[in-house]
Amino acid sequence: MRRRHILDSFRHALDGIVHVFQTQRHMRYHVLTVLMVLTIGLLYRLDSRDMLLLLFTVSLVLITEMFNTAVEVMIDLFNPAFHPLAKIAKDIAAGAVLISSINAVVVGFFLFVYNGRLQRFLQQDLKRSYPDYMLVIATGAILLMMLVLAGQGWKGPRFWLRGGLISVRSALGFFLAMTILFVSSKILVGTLAFALALLIAYERVESKRQTVQEVVLGGLLAIFLSALLYWTLP
């Protein structure tokens, strides 16, 4: 029997995520909502504790939606015909998604609106504060991967690391290059970082694992996202 490589499990997990995104309309809505909420969290300059709470909350919504899909698939596999017990199982799984969504709304209210935080946010001067670079890097990486997931979902059922509408490695390479440029504030260091990102993109095209279009889309997406984050939070 063939030994399973450690990356096999990772690839199968990514296939599952892409499948849910492709087949479940609600999952696509959840992902877009997560992108919006995380962006708002950065604009609000939430501290590390509040941002971790926000990340945990939105992740819980995505996880319950995936479990809901898994339950539906298993029930349809073993009993495609209508059955009262199958309906109850699906309703319970859907109820879990509803509870996690309500919890996310409550957490979002306390983080963004409660205690006059919304009013203070609208009145603050964005040019007088500076971001927590590690927080921006972590959140930016999550936003980037979710956007890549969205591109993969509309492209078709392919592995993340083997192809798709957007090149994952190209996107990560240029995101890290932009991060190095902003953090170091040195043109030479940024130029060297971009040279490495270009080498990654060239390798993907030269090996014929991805097209020029996929690599360019990944690079442009990463540059736009990182520039938006760092320029919005000076």
Active site residue 65: yes
List 65, 72, 206, 214, catalytic entry: 65
- DSSP secondary structure letter of residue 175: H
CA distances, 185 to each of 67, 98, 227, 228 (Å)? 44, 45, 13, 16
Beta carbons of 157 and 18 less than 8 angstroms apart: yes
The SS3 call for residue 81 is coil
Residues 6 or more apart whose CB falls under 8 angstroms from that of 125 comprise none
Closest-CA residue to 185 (of 128, 130, 126): 130
- Which residue numbers are catalytic? 65
